[in-house]
């Protein structure tokens, strides 16, 4: 997964907080729920939706 692939950059850039993937019909927000990257929360978002407020709501909820 993208979180495991980006481990190499954590020393320089810090931890990856979330990953947003945009497809033609859906946006998928992926958030690691553990430091070991064993558990993830995936949220599907309508492609027309503004993702900023959605990301903030999800982070406030977890």
- From the list 6, 8, 58, 57, the residue with the least C-alpha distance to 30 is 58
- Residue ranges of domains in the chain: 2-61
**Whole-structure pTM value:** 0.75
pLDDT of residue 6: 66
What is the rounded CA–CA span in Å between residue 45 and residue 29?
7
- 2-50 per-position pLDDT tens digit: 666 667 777 788 877 888 999 999 999 998 887 776 788 999 999 999 9
């Amino acid at each position: 997964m993208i979180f495991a692939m980006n481990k190499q950059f954590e020393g320089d850039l810090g931890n990856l907080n979330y990953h947003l993937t945009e497809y033609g019909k859906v946006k998928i927000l992926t958030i690691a729920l553990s430091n070991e990257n064993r558990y993830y929360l995936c949220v599907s978002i309508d492609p027309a939706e503004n993702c900023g407020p959605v990301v903030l709501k999800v982070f406030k909820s977890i």
